[in-house]
Amino acid sequence: MFALDDEIRRFGRLLHYAGVLAAVLCVAAGFSLVHAPTVDAIADTSSRIEELKLSIQNASIMRDQHRKVTDQLSEVTARIAGVQRRVPRDADAGEFLKEVTQLASEEQLVIKDFTPEKPEHRNGYAEMQVTLKGSGSYASICKFVDRLSKLKRLSKVKDLTLSAEGNANEYPMTATLVIYFGLRGKEADSTRSPQENHRG
C-alpha cells in the first residue's frame, strides 16, 4: 500500500516537472515568436520616425534650395533665349553693314571699308569675320565699339587697331568683327518665328 502511494507521488512530481518544463518552453517560444520581433519592429519604427523628423527639419532648406535653383535656371534660360534671338539664320552681311553704318554715323565715325570674309561653320552655329576700316576721334571710336555689343545682331570685336597720324583729332581704325548666324538644334528652332520654321 505504501509502495503504491510512493509511486503515485513520484508520478505526480514528474507531471508537475513536466508542466513546469512545458510552461518554460512556451514562454521561450513566445519570446522568440512575439517579443523579439516586436522589439525589432519598435526599433525599426523609431529609426523611421527619426528619419522623418530630419526630413521635416530639412524641408524648408530643401524648398529654399529648390527655389534658388529654379530661379537660376529661369534666368539662364532667359539669357540663352535672348542670345538666340540675336542670331539670324543667315549671315546677311548687308543688313549688318546697314546697322554698323547707322551706328557709326550717330557716333560721328566714318566707315571707309567693309569686307566680309568666308563663313566658317562651327559646332552648332556658323560665324563670319568682317574687316571694318574707318576713322574718327578717340571718343567716337570708344563709343562706337561699346555700342556694337548692344546691337540687335550678336557680334564681337576680335581685334582693334588705332593709328596716330598728323591730325591728332582723327584716328584711322581697323577692326575685325565676328558675326554669328545659323544656330542649329532644337533650342534654335524654338526661337524662330512660325514663318522661319515654315521656310526651314
pLDDT for residue 191 is more than 50: no
Tens digit of pLDDT for each residue in 68-88?
888 888 888 888 888 788 899
- Cell numbers describing residue 64: 529654399
Does 97 share its domain with 187? yes
User: How many Cβ atoms are within 10 Å of 14's Cβ, its own excluded?
Assistant: 10
Q: Are residues 116 and 30 in the same domain?
A: no
Q: Which domain holds residue 149?
A: 93-199
Residues 33 and 75 in one domain: yes
User: E strand or H helix at 136, and its extent?
Assistant: strand 126-136
CA angle 66-70-75, nearest 5°? Answer: 150
Do residues 36 and 61 share a domain? yes
Higher pLDDT, 186 or 23: 23
| 108, 65: one domain | no
167-183 average pLDDT score: 89
Q: What is the pTM of this model?
A: 0.57
Number of other CB atoms surrounding residue 109 within 10 Å: 22
Residues 114, 139 contacting (CB under 8 angstroms): no
- The helix/strand/coil state of 124 is coil
The domain boundary, picked from 63, 85, 107, lies at 85
- 74 and 119 share a domain? no
Closest to 179 measured CA to CA, from 112, 126, 139: 126
Given a cut of 80, whether residue 5 has pLDDT beyond it is: no
The predicted structure's pLDDT at residue 114: 94
Q: Is the dihedral of CA 70, 76, 80, 82 positive or negative?
A: positive
Start-to-end CA distance of the chain, whole Å, equals 121
Farthest-apart Cα atoms in the chain, separation: 152
Give tens-digit pLDDT for 98-134: 999 999 999 999 999 999 999 999 999 999 999 999 9
Q: pLDDT at position 170, please?
A: 87
Question: Which of 38-52, 112-126, 147-161, 175-189 is predicted with the least confidence, judged by mean pLDDT?
Answer: 38-52
The larger pLDDT score, comparing residue 5 to residue 56, is at 56
Among 85, 108, 138, the domain-final residue is 85
Select the more confidently predicted residue: 128 or 46: 128
